[in-house]
Structure 1
Amino acid sequence: MGASNQVIGFLNLLTFLVSIPVLGGGIWLSIRASNTDCMKFLQWPLLLIGGAIMAVSLAGFAGACYRNTFLMYLYLWAMFFIIASLLIFVIFAYSVTQRGSARPVINRVYLDYSLQDYSGTWLADRVASPNYWGKIAACIRDSRICRKLGRTATGAADSAQLFYLKKLTPIQSGCCKPPTSCGYTYMNATFWVSEGDQTGGDADCLRWSNDQWQLCYGCDSCKAGVLASLKKSWRKVSVINIVILIILVVLYVVACAAVRHNKQLDNDEAYGETRMIKSHPTWFY
C-alpha cells in the first residue's frame, strides 16, 4: 500500500474515532430524555450521523487498503453529505435554543421559568403542542423527579428557608412548585397553600394543584422548565459537535488531496506503461 493510501487509511481511522463522541452525544441525550428531559426524539439525528460516520469511515478504510477507487470516491461523497448534515444540525440546534432564559427571584437561590421567554421557536411550539405535552408530562410524572425534592437525609421536609436556598433544576422549579409570583405559602416542596385569593395574574396560579399526581405538570412554567433543560443539553452537545465538525472538515480536505495524489500516481503509472509498450513493441509478440 502506497504512502497516500496509508494516509487515507490513517484518516479513516481518525474518522472512525471521531464517530464515537458523536454517538456518545446521542446516547447521552437519550439517557437524559429517559430520565429528565423527556423529549425522546431529539437524540436520533446525532445517533444517525454518528452511525453514518462510523460506517463510511470503515468503507473508506477498506477502499484505502484495497486501493479501490470506487469506494474512495463513495467515501468522499458520503463524508461531504455527513459534514453538511452535521453543520445543518448544529445550526438547527442553536436556532431552536436561541431564545429564553431563567428569571431570578428575590430572596431565592432557585430560578423561575416562563413559557413566554421561550416562545417563537420550533422547539417551543413542539414542546407546548398538546400532542407532545401529554407524553412529556406523563414522562416527568413517571420519573418521580418531584418526589424527593425538599427532603433531608433523614427524610424530613426542608424548612422554608432551607428550601429557598436550594438550586433547583429547571424542571423541578417549573413543574414541582407554583410560580413564585403566585404568592403561595410554602408548606413543603410540593405542597403550597394560598392565603385567601392572593395569587398573581399568571394562569399557572390556577393550574397549580397540591394533588401529587397533578402539581404543576399542566403549567406553562413546567413547559418552560423542559425547554430550559433541553437548551442546556443541546448547547453542551452542540459545542462537541462544532469541534467534531472542524476535525471532519480538516480530515475531508486532507483525504481529497490524498485521493487526488493517488489518481495522479495511477495516471503516471499508466503513462509509463504506455511509453514502455511503444518503446519495446516486440515484448508483446
Structure 2
Amino acid sequence: MTENANSKELVPVEKAEDNSKATENANLPVTVEEGAAKAAKDQVVAIEENNNKINNMSAAEKPGQGKHLAGLSTVLTFILSLPILASVVWLFYMRNYECESLLRLPKLQFGIGIGLIAIFVISNGFVFLRARFPMPGLLVVMVPLLVMLTMGLALVGAYKMESRSIVGSPMWLKSKIYDDDIWNDIETCLYDNGACRDLVFRSLTVKSYSFPSTKLSYLEHGCCRPPTTCGMVYVNATYWEKRRRTVDGSYPYDADCDLWENDPNVMCYNCNSCKRGFYLTLKSKWWKLGIFLFFMALLLIVSHLLLFFATMLERFHF
C-alpha cells in the first residue's frame, strides 16, 4: 500500500519536470529569434555610427579648408602691411627738400607718418583678433584705409579744383608757389641754401658742347640756367652769352630771358622757370607718396575683405 502511494506521488513530479522541459524547449526558439533580431539591430546601429563618423569627417574637412584659406589671407595681409612700416621710416628720416618748410609741408609729412603707424597697428590688430570680432574689426579697419585711399587720390591730384584746399596736392602747391609774397621768401631761401652751388662745382670741368647733355634736377634746370628758348650760349655755369633776338610771344619763357643775370647772386631765381622747377620738385615727391598711399590702401582693403570672408567660412563650416 505504501509503495503504491509513493508511486502515485512520483508521477506528478515527473510530469512537472517534463512540462518544464517542454516549456524551456518551447521558449528556446523565441530566444534565438530575439538574438538574431538583436544582432541585426546592432549591425544597423554600427552602420549608422560608421556613416555618422564619415559625415563628421567630411564636416571636419570643411573648417580645415576655411582655416587654411584664413591662414593664407592672414599672412598676405601682414606682408602687405610691411611696406607701410618702411614708408614711415622713409617719411621720418628722409631729407626735406630745400625751403619746403616754408610751406609747412614737413608737418604734413610727420602727420602722414603718424597716421600710417596707426593704420599698421589697426590692420594687424584686426588680423590677430579676427576670430573674436570679425564684423566690428572689419568696420574699424576700413575707416582709416578709406581715409588713406582718399588722401592718396588727393596728393595725386585726382580731385582737380577740389584739391586746391588739400595741403600737398598739385593745385595747392601751385597756388602757394606762384603767390608772389610766398615766392619772395622761397627765392631768398633758395639763394641762402645755395641751390645752384652744386651745379657750379660740377660744371667746372664741363665743356660747352657737353653741358647740354648734363643731367640737371628740376630746380637746377629752372633756377641755375636760362631757359632753352632764350637761345643763350653756354660759357660756364654762371655765365651765358646773350644773343640778339626778337621777342616772340609764342615762347612761354621770353620774359625769363630778360630776368636772367650772369651773376651768381641773381641768375634766374626770379624767373617763372625757377618757380616751375621748384613746383615740379615738390610735386614729384608728393605725387609718388600719393601713388603709394592709394595702391597700398587698395591692396589692404582687398586683403582684409578676403580675410573676413575666410573667417566667415571658418566659423560657419562652409
1:77 match: 139
2:120 match: 54
Aligned-pair Cα RMSD in Å: 3.9
1:129 match: 179
Q: Does 1:215 align with 2:267?
A: yes
Give the superposition deviation at 1:225.
1.1
Q: Does 1:176 align with 2:224?
A: yes
1:191 to 239, 245, 252: 239
Considering fraction of residues, name the structure with more helix. 2
Q: Deviations over 1:238-281 (max 9, x none)?
A: 4433432332122220243356568769xxxxxxxxxxxxxxxx
1:17 match: 82
1:228 to 260, 280, 283: 280
Amino acid at match of 1:63: L
Give the superposition deviation at 1:232.
3.2
Higher relative contact order (CA 8 A, sep 6+): 2
Q: 1:5 to 1:194 in 2, by over 3 A?
A: closer
Give the superposition deviation at 1:174.
0.2
Structure (1 or 2) with the larger CA radius of gyration = 2
Q: 1:125 to 1:50 in 2, by over 3 A?
A: same
Give the superposition deviation at 1:6.
6.3
Identity %: 24
Alignment TM-score, normalising by the size of structure 2: 0.58
Listed as ranges, the gaps of 5+ residues in structure 1 are 99-119, 266-285
Q: Does 1:159 align with 2:207?
A: yes
Q: Deviations over 1:180-207 (max 9, x none)?
A: 2234343311223435687776222233
Q: 1:20 to 1:97 in 2, by over 3 A?
A: same
CA contact 1:11–1:251 (8 Å) conserved in 2 = yes
Distance 1:172 1:157 in 2: 17
Distance 2:70 2:232 in 1: 70
Give the superposition deviation at 1:141.
3.1
Distance 2:174 2:194 in 1: 23
Q: 1:75 to 1:129 in 2, by over 3 A?
A: farther
Q: 1:228 to 1:21 in 2, by over 3 A?
A: same
Give the superposition deviation at 1:176.
0.6
1:43 match: 109
Q: 1:156 to 1:16 in 2, by over 3 A?
A: closer
Equivalent pairs, count: 235
Amino acid at match of 1:53: I
Determine helix, strand or coil for the equivalent of 1:212. coil
Determine helix, strand or coil for the equivalent of 2:234. strand
